[in-house]
Structure 1
Amino acid sequence: MQIGDGPRAEILAMQGAGFRKHIMVDNFISRYGSYDKCGLVRRDVYNHCCRENMKLIAKGDAETTVGIMRSGKTNDPDFFFEYVLDKEGRLKSMFWCDAQSRRDYQHYGDVVEFDNTYKMNRYGMPFIPFVGVNNHRCTIVFGCAIVSDETEGTYVWLLQTFMRANCQQKPKSIITDGEPAMIRAIRSVFSDVLHHICACHIEKNMQRHLYYKSLDEFRSLLYYATSQDNFEQRWSAFVDK
């Protein structure tokens, strides 16, 4: 579907401000009332943002970035990086981690969290850190990535590359937000790994969809440890209520 000049400008403005794609679509639907009236669907927004990102990635910038990574590999033999170019030779996706990050993952990689909400760069591209917690309860970085789109294929490549960087050692649990493409990629690559949605994202949705008097009861279901059977009973009662 062809996006009009007005919506196109609005999408670019929202992308520059760091809005997620599904939030952009929800914004249009809330204003116009339906998909038909706003003249676009979710895939149109994803495709348009991807095309604009590709236009912004200049060849010189990509070459400079790859050069920096190669220098890191020269100075640190255990430095790891991989990248993907599009058909026109422009940088599409890149993942990297240094020797310390790889050692940390071997020791503390039982639980990994990654989030694609960071877009503080000139291209508005998602920057994705893979992080964990060490024995001092300090946050540690296992690797970083920058991507031009948020599709299932890109996430599959990213997770597979993360595994190659760490000798195919899978985490026991992985924590993400509720991005549908990310969830599908995790099911494909980490089918036997426990997947959890980040509690802060659940809190945001909870406050948006639940009546305020039920929030404390929902938090007790979310945060307080109990047996599986007890949780199922309490959850069923909560839903019925």
Structure 2
Amino acid sequence: MNKYFLKMQADNSNFFYMMDFTEDGRLKNVFWADARSREAFKEFGDVVTFDTTYLVNKYSMPFAPFVGVNHHGQSILLGCGLISGEDTDTFRWLFESWLTCMSGVPPSAIITDQDKAMKKAIHIVFPKARHRWCLWHILKKMPEKFKGYREYKSIKFCLKNVVYDSLTKEEFEERWGRFIYHLKSHEWLLELYNERYYWVPAFVKDTFWAGMSTAQRSESINAFFDGYVHHQTTLKEFVEQYDKALAKNVVN
């Protein structure tokens, strides 16, 4: 894998990579970005989505892409990593590597899921970036959080109305108060309310999001790699196939 990265760097000096090892020399984490990704960030790096839910490979290392959107509304890859864990230290290493790659310029805004370790690392490495949670990921949890409730369909309908139809913070507070009246003991809803600054449209609309509200941009990037990588792909195969998939996408 290291030889492959060295070859890529020899072919194009703007190819960037960093590798993180344990004390006994085992690979922990790796980050890389090609010249196209680094150039694209200069123009379209204001808003980034970051997601680690797509794929783990033969060594159970989650794939962690940074994704933006260009002036045509198309998803673009802004670098990616393979990580050994999903704790704060690992995310911090990855974010710092990405920041180094992008000449120390952080994104203005970043969209992720609700991962607490990720949230903490973003606060450390990108303290001025506006952090938003993916609304799609949140609403996807509703069947699990309300299983056993006979009124599930009604709760889902009401929650979506409160979230999407509240145009101001004050309107959200008023609608939420009515919605939560019979669900005051529901811990998940109480936690969501306490973190409303991160996910409610009325609380995040003061920031430029490049038309993005979810981390599904990352999932559309992940679709680039379908047919190229799978759960038994080795690390060396992964980076080689990654480059082939990305090159094919640029050609198309």
Fold match (TM-score > 0.5): yes
Gaps of 5+ in 1: 1-64
SS at match of 1:171: coil
Q: What's the secondary structure of 1:132's corresponding residue?
A: strand
Of the three residues 143, 162, 165, the one matched with 1:221 is: 162
In structure 1, the residue matched to 2:171 is 230
Q: Distance in 2 between matches of 1:101 and 1:112?
A: 12
The superposition leaves residues 95-137 of structure 1 with CA deviations (integer Å, 9 ceiling, x where unpaired) of 0001110111111111111111133421121110111111111
RMSD between superposed Cα atoms in Å: 1.6
**Displacement of 1:172 after TM fit?**
1.7
Amino acid at match of 2:46: D
Equivalent residue for 1:88? 24
SS at match of 1:74: helix
TM-score (norm 1): 0.69
Are 2:146 and 1:205 aligned?
Answer: no
Deviation at 1:207, TM superposition (A): 2.8
CA distance, structure 2, for counterparts of residue 221 and residue 71 of structure 1: 53
Assess if the C-alpha contact under 8 Å between 2:166 and 2:175 holds in 1: no
* 2:118 corresponds to: 182
**Greater relative CO, 1 or 2 (CA 8 Å, sep 6+):** 2
- 1:164 alignment partner in structure 2: 100
Equivalent position amino acid for 1:188 in 2: I
Match for residue 63 of structure 2? Answer: 127
Match of 2:219 in 1: none
Q: How does 1:15-94 map to 2 (within 5 A)?
A: 65-94=1-30
Query: After superposition, where does 1:88-127 map in structure 2 within 5 Å?
Result: 88-127=24-63
SS, match of residue 54 in structure 2: coil
Q: Deviations over 1:163-198 (max 9, x none)?
A: 111112121211111122111111222222111111
After TM superposition, give the deviation of residue 162 of structure 1 in Å. Answer: 0.9
Q: Which residue matches 1:173?
A: 109
The Cα offsets for residues 198-226 of structure 1, whole Å up to 9 and x where unpaired, read as 12210122232242212122123334461
SS at match of 1:96: strand
Using the alignment, how far apart are the partners of 1:198 and 1:70 within structure 2? 36
* Structure 2 residue identity aligned to 1:239: I
**Amino acid corresponding to residue 160 of structure 2 in structure 1:** R
Structure 2: unaligned runs, 5 residues or longer: 147-151, 183-252
| Superposed structure 1 runs of 4+ greater than 6 Å apart | none
SS of the aligned residue for 2:2 comes to: helix
Q: Quick one: distance in 2 between partners of 1:191 and 1:214?
A: 35
**C-alpha separation between the residues in 2 aligned to 1:153 and 1:168?**
19
Query: 1:173, 1:224 → 2: CA distance?
Result: 23
Deviations 1:61-116 (A, max 9, x none): xxxx1111111111111111111111111111110001110111111111111111
* Percent identity between the two aligned chains: 36
Please give the secondary structure, in 1, of the residue aligned with 2:8: helix
Aligned partners of 2:114 and 2:133 also within 8 Å: yes
Matched AA of 2:3: G
Hey, what's the Cα distance between the residues in 2 that align with 1:205 and 1:151? 21
